[in-house]
Structures are given as C-alpha cells and as structure tokens.
A and B are shown apart, each in its own frame.
Chain A
Amino acid sequence: EIVLTQTPISSPVTLGQPASISCRSTQSLLHSDGNTYLSWLHQRPGQPPRLLIYEISNRFSGVPDRFSASGAGTDFTLKISRVEAEDVGVYYCMQATQSPCSFGQGTKLEIK
C-alpha cells in the first residue's frame, strides 16, 4: 500500500506571498502505462474537495494559473505563486497509480 506524506502539516502564509507543499510517496507513482497519477485537491471548510491538478502538473478546468505543480517518481510539489484569501483550507495530494488509492494527510493553509 502506498503512503503519501505531505509537508508541512500547516502553513501560515502572508497574502500575496508564495506557498509550497510537498508530497512524498513510499513508492514510485509511475504507472505501467507511462502516466503518473498524482493529483492535488483543495478543500475549503464545510465544502467538498475540488480538483486542482492532475497527472503531476496539469491544471484542471477553471484553476487559476497561480497554481502550479511538478515532480516525478516519489517526490511532488504544489506551488501557489501569490496566495489569495480564497486559497485558505486544506490541500491534499492523491495517488491513483496503484490500488488502493490513497491521500496524503493534508496541509492546512492559513493566512498570517
């Protein structure tokens, strides 16, 4: 079973400043079909999650370009270039390369 570990657990950020979240996997997330099924999601309090990034670095429909992501193998990063108030909440990475699928434990982004 693949375990995803996110760092930091909590990230206080000043509005307009960048933020970065790391997701590390216990196994390579490269699938035999050549794709890497690592995605990033954002959940605001009281709301369901929403997809931000799929297959490591592809922004989902409607996601602002201040969100970017990168990585390969076992190490992945989500970056927000300039944090806005609406970005608060919890960020999760998720892998669907190997069953069972799994989520990281979450990173809480809050404004200083």
Chain B
Amino acid sequence: EVQVVDSGGGLVRPGGSLRLSCAASGFTFTSFWMHWVRQSPGKGLVWVSRINIDGSVTNYADSVKGRFTISRDNAKNTLYLQMNNLRAEDTAVYYCGKGGYGAVTAWGQGTLVTVSS
C-alpha cells in the first residue's frame, strides 16, 4: 500500500524555522517526483514545491522561494521541507504528495504549522 506520512509541524514564532518530514513507503521512492502542498484554515490548496527523482531539480512557489528548501534522502525514502524566516501567512496544514502522471497521486494526512508570537 502506498503511504506518505508527513510530520514535523508545530507552533513557531515569526522569523523562526521548522523542518517538515515525509516518510514514504509502499512504492519505489526513487522513481517519483515529490511535492509539498499547503492549505490555510478554511482556504484552498496552494502548491508549495516539488523535487525530481534525484534531487537535482527543484521548483518553488514565488511566495516561498528563498525561504523554503525541498530535499530528499533516497536512502531513507524521506522527503523534507526546510522552512526558514516563517511568516504568519505560512500558517497552514502542509501535505506531502507523491507525484506521477504529472499529478499528485497520493497524499499524506497533513501536518499543521502555526506561525504566531
């Protein structure tokens, strides 16, 4: 069974940092792009970032470029999102997603990041 389990969320002060993790299982991790998507409370889905199979290609939403870094450890089947200089508007549930067919084919349950003083 394909599973992606995201973790690492929490409460952080503005300007602070947090690292999210996503543990993947049930599929060949090294064969798929991976994504991060976020959703602020009561709002729609917002794409954040994606990374190719070996980590050599990364893309970001303009709103996080220069502050967030996506990476992956293929030996550990794990995806990461390093978030620096966090702002109140980054408050959201962050979902890890498995790529495939140019879509997000499997989703984690989400991890809540709250940026507040």
- Taking the nearest CB of chain A, how far is it from the CB of B113, in angstroms? 15
Chain A residues packing against B (C-beta within 8 Å): 1, 31, 35, 37, 39, 41, 43, 48-51, 54-55, 58, 60, 90, 92, 94, 96-97, 99-106
Give the size range of B's interface with the partner: 20 to 34
- The main secondary structure of chain A at its interface with chain B is loop
In the complex, are the beta carbons of A100 and B59 less than 8 A apart? yes
Is B72 part of the contact surface with A, judged by Cβ < 8 Å? no
Is B105 part of the contact surface with A, judged by Cβ < 8 Å? yes
In the complex, are the beta carbons of B107 and A100 less than 8 A apart? no
Contact with A along B29-73 (1 / 0, CB 8 A): 000000101000000111100100000000111100000000000
| Contacts known (A54-B101, A60-B105, A94-B103); A99 close to B59, Cβ less than 8 A | yes
Q: B103: which of A1, A31, A51, A99 is its contact (CB, 8 Å)? A: A51
A103 and B67 alpha carbons, distance in the complex (Å): 21
Is B26 part of the contact surface with A, judged by Cβ < 8 Å? no
Give every chain B residue within 8 A of A103 (Cβ-Cβ).
37, 44-47
Give every chain A residue within 8 A of B37 (Cβ-Cβ).
103
- Taking the nearest CB of chain B, how far is it from the CB of A15, in angstroms? 25
> Which chain B residue shows the least CB distance to A97?
B102
A49 and B109 alpha carbons, distance in the complex (Å): 9
| Contacts known (A48-B109, A100-B61); A94 close to B44, Cβ less than 8 A | no
> Which chain A residue shows the least CB distance to B60?
A100
> Which chain A residue shows the least CB distance to B45?
A103
Give every chain A residue within 8 A of B50 (Cβ-Cβ).
96, 99, 101
The 7 closest A-B pairs by CB, nearest first: A37-B102, A39-B103, A99-B59, A48-B107, A54-B101, A54-B103, A101-B47
